[in-house]
Every structure is written in C-alpha cells, then in structure tokens.
Amino acid sequence: MTRKIRLALLTSTLLAGPALAETTLTIESWRNDDLTIWQDTIIPAFEAQHPDIKVVFAPSAPAEYNAVLNSKLAAGSAGDLITCRPFDASLELYNQGHLADLSDLAAMANFSPVAKSAWQTDDGSATFCVPMASVIHGFIYNADAFEQLGLSVPTTRDEFFAVLDKIKEDGTYIPMAMGTNDQWEAATMGYQNIGPNYWKGEEGRLALIKGEQKLTDEPWVAPFRELARWKDYLGDGFEAQTYPDSQNLFTLGRAAIYPAGSWEIAGFNAQADFKMGAFPPPVGAAGDTCYISDHTDIAIGLNAKSPNAEAAKVFLEWVGSPEFAALYANALPGFFSLNSTPVEMSDPLAQEFVSWRQKCQSTIRSTYQILSRGTPNLENETWNAAANVIRGAETPEAAAARLQAGLASWYEPQK
C-alpha cells in the first residue's frame, strides 16, 4: 500500500515537473520568542535566493524543547533541521544517530575551533551542527535611575555592593530584579555570570573537568557566598518571583539592575522606555583580569532521517555564511555571531556586551561540557543549589559540598 502511494507520489512529482518540485524544510527550535524574526526577516531572505525551498520555523517552549525533541526524534516525526543545544544534549543526539555529521560542509571553514567545540565529538573528529550564536552574561542597568541617584557603573565587587546599598537606601527602585521561583536564573544569571571571575574562566573550568579542582574549592564556593549576599537586594517576595516577573519589573522601570544574559537585549529594547546600559560582572580588585561567560549557545543541525537532506544542506551552508551572520546578529541583538567574519551591529547595548570580548577573557558555562553527563545532573543540581543559597535555605558551603558529592558519584576524575 505504502509502496503504491510512494509510487503515485513519485510519478506525480515527475509529471508535475519543476513547478511543483518545491521542498519544505521544517526547523525545530526552542526560540519561540524569535518566531516573527524568522518569519519576517531570515526565512524570506533565504527563500528569495532559493525559491525552490520553503522553510517553516516551528518552535516549542524552551523548557520543554529537549523533551519534545527527543520524543519526536524517537518517533521519527521531527523536522528536517534541528536547533542544537550546546554540548551533551546534542552530542547524545549525534551518538544516537539522530543528527547527521556535517564536518564536510563548506561553511564549517567559517568557524573557529572554539566556536565549533560545543557541537563536536570529544575528539573533535565530527562536527554535527552549524554554530549560530553565543550569548554573553553581565548586568543590564537602568541608566536613567543611575543618573537620578548619582551612581556610577561599578567595576569591582565592593563598588557593586556599594551601588546596591545606595539604591536600597534611596528606596525608589528595587536594587536587583531576580527571583528564585524558576531556579534557572539563579544558576545561569547568578552563579555562571559572576563565577568566572572567581575560577578564572577557562583555567578553572578545564581544571574542574580534569579533576584538578573540586567544587568545594574556594573559587567555586565563593560565587555562592556572593549570591547569598544578593538576597537583601532582591524585591519583596522574590521567592515566588518568576523569570517573566523579573523581566517586567526591570522593563517597567521598577528595578535598577538586572542580572542578564545578552539574549534579553531585543526584548528589553522593545519594552523599556528608559536608557539602558550594561556592565560585565565586577572583579575582586581594580585592575584584575575580568572573565566573562561568552557561552556558545545555539547552532543548527540536520536530522539524519530527513528526506530532504539535500535542500537542508543548502540551507545549512547559508546559515554558515557571513550573510546569515549579519542578518541574524542584527535581527537578534544579543545573539552574537560565532562566524569568523566580524559582524557590524547597530544596537548600542549589543555593542557594549560584545566589546567585553576585547578586554575580558571568555569562557563558557562551567557545567555544560562533559560534567552534566551523569546522574545527578550537575547543571540541574546547580539551579537548585543556587536558588537555595539565594533564599538562604542552604549555606554556600553545604550547597558546594552537595554538588561535589553528586559529581563525584559518577565522574571518574572527580572521585
């Protein structure tokens, strides 16, 4: 029966000729915020060059994406193009044969080894996703509020807390907009944001992977200690404050500082009607080297079982081109292109974030590569630990000891 249908379909395609030889590619993604940008800017630009290929952007909710995608891939109903999470989530998909090897894509030459590292096998022999963008952590502040209160942008930790004290004393603004209800902000915009300054970026991250440092060592506990101090500067009832609550508090001008990821820029530009600025996580003493989390966050790969692999590869080559890089980086300020060709960005806030790449050392989130492979999952545990520390439900030392015990239970170099 299926064969008959296939045959019928085949004949009809042959008969219909080029007019109907149009392929439709479906993109799986967790970036549902970007739906309009893909539909209005990115896809039309591609389709204009390739009228025979139609692209559909079909995102699902960020928190559900991995689960939804895994089920769809297992059931064989996933789209042709898969937006790739960095490191193990995608590596596992590749190992299971769900993602195709893209190493020989011509566009891969446009990316540095660091950019590709998040979507490669451990030995670097195969690359299975085309890198799209990274996100940078830092703090976005309400520049009008800073001016009104006569505050200057803090560069050291002492200055940072002095600024927070002043905002709190004045009382007009909530010093910092963050809640612990959704947990991930505490880990991502908290721990991973300020942490690299303590563990010296890549140096500490790689030492942790090699087993030379432990999560109970000072550089890994100290960020928790700083997080514990944040508690006094968060809004009333921050325990039940969700991520969208925090975003709204800041864009409505009720909070002065927002621990951020650069992905917020587009949304904040649209929502906030005050001037915004950004500063990197403050360092210990003036003149110290600063470290930022410049996290390789998003890439796009090919579903190994896609019937439209040829068309999908055409699309992926385009995604790897400087043209896409410029289009994407400007349509979505805050998602910084990983393409080796420098991209001109017009958004001042995005320019500020990306300028830190020149003066600070870049690293990626410490929990993403290799360390979240086992059970318990270090990244998810870190969410919980960071939220607990901010709420004051767990001491920094106890949280770190718990994370270390969990990691050591399955990760050989840490035993």
Binding site for another protein (CB under 8 A): 63, 66-67, 70-71, 85, 87-89, 92, 95-96, 179-184, 235-242, 245, 248-249, 367-368, 372, 375-377, 379-380, 383-384, 387-388, 391, 393-394, 406, 409
- Residue 363 bridge partners (DSSP): 293
Which residues have CB under 8 Å from 248's CB, separation 6+? 271
Query: 182 or 317, CB closer to another protein?
Result: 182
Closest alpha carbon to 24 in 307, 240, 252: 307
Handedness of CA 194, 341, 26, 41 (dihedral sign): positive
CB 366 within 8 A of CB 204: yes
Query: 277 or 376, CB closer to another protein?
Result: 376
Write down the least CB distance from residue 297 to another protein, Å: 13
Write down the least CB distance from residue 284 to another protein, Å: 29
Query: 16 or 67, CB closer to another protein?
Result: 67
Query: 215 or 360, CB closer to another protein?
Result: 215
Write down the least CB distance from residue 378 to another protein, Å: 8
Structure tokens at 306: 């896609």
Report whether the peptide linkage leading into residue 376 is cis, meaning its omega lies within 30 degrees of zero.
yes
Query: 313 or 365, CB closer to another protein?
Result: 365
SS3 178: coil
| Pairing relationship of beta strands 81-84 and 291-302 according to DSSP bridges | antiparallel
Write down the least CB distance from residue 192 to another protein, Å: 12
Query: 126 or 343, CB closer to another protein?
Result: 126
Integer Cα distance of 328 and 135 in angstroms: 13
Query: 332 or 390, CB closer to another protein?
Result: 390
Write down the least CB distance from residue 376 to another protein, Å: 6
CB 23 within 8 A of CB 56: no
Which residues have CB under 8 Å from 397's CB, separation 6+? 216, 221
HSE value, Cβ hemisphere, 13 Å, CA-based, for 76: 2
Integer Cα distance of 29 and 10 in angstroms: 30
209, exposed or middle or buried, with CB in 10 Å at 0-12, 13-18, 19+?
Answer: middle
Query: 357 or 373, CB closer to another protein?
Result: 373
Integer Cα distance of 307 and 305 in angstroms: 6
Write down the least CB distance from residue 194 to another protein, Å: 20
Write down the least CB distance from residue 387 to another protein, Å: 7
Write down the least CB distance from residue 365 to another protein, Å: 10
Q: How far is CA 354 from CA 135, 275, 360, in A?
A: 9, 18, 10
